[in-house]
Amino acid sequence: MRAITAFLARNKGFFTFMLCMIVFRSAVADWNVVPTGSMQPTIRIGDRIFVDKAAYDVRLPFTHVSLLHLADPQRGDIVVLDSAAAHERLVKRVIGLPGDQVAMRDNRLYINGQRAEYTDTTETGIHDDQLGAARYVIENYGAMRHRVRLSLDRPSPARSFGPIKVPEAQYLMLGDNRDNSEDSRYLGFFPRREIIGRTRYVAVSLDPENHYLPRAHRFGAPLDSAH
């Protein structure tokens, strides 16, 4: 017992630092590995995204309990959430806000009766034989502007839905890879309390198709750089 006490006393600075880091990652900021392509082309498989956990709430560390409400998610935000419906952590884009009427017709969004605008874009550097050929477009609605991936080989059966009204304190979210994303079309609306943070930047990126070598050009890259 004395040996354990002495060991803790000698290393109290290290343990204090580790505790502070754990609390910081739980309540302030963290990074998440992205293992799937549901947000391509915005977020690529192998990206480690920076998550601002204080973007919307100050939470009690290690819980979802909000101590201070700071803001609410806005349309177009890329958020990280602990989804009870999916039984896992998800990264999706906020499309429908509480009270919105949202519909989709052949992968074209209509929000509150207004159709989003779509323009073609040339996307390079993304090759995924499993997903097949795709068309990339810029989706533009109000202040929301980002790229989406539309499959040419394997269209989703959920390319059309609605119109549906988003309930209070809930959000409709979609993946940017519209034909290969498990999102609100399959899981329903996501409650506000499940949203744990917002991401706007890639922290680091490793290429799983090239021996996990770094993609240096993506280090610190901003998301939503539509072109």
Q: Considering only CA atoms, which of 70, 196, 94 is closest in space to residue 142?
A: 94
Q: Which of 92, 151, 181, 205 is catalytic?
A: 92
Beta bridge pairs of residue 165: 101
Q: Is 165 a catalytic residue?
A: no
- 141-144 — which CB contacts under 8 Å span 24+ positions? 141/75, 141/109, 141/111, 141/114, 141/116, 141/117, 142/75, 143/74, 143/75, 143/76, 144/75, 144/76, 144/116
- Structure tokens belonging to residue 109: 């969004």
Q: Which of 38, 181, 184, 205 is catalytic?
A: 38
- Give the 3-state secondary structure of residue 24: helix
Q: Is 160 a catalytic residue?
A: no
Residue 187's alpha-carbon distances to 11, 49, 83, 171, in angstroms, are 47, 23, 9, 11
Residue 166's alpha-carbon distances to 51, 103, 106, 112, 151, in angstroms, are 25, 11, 20, 11, 26
Catalytic center residues: 38, 92
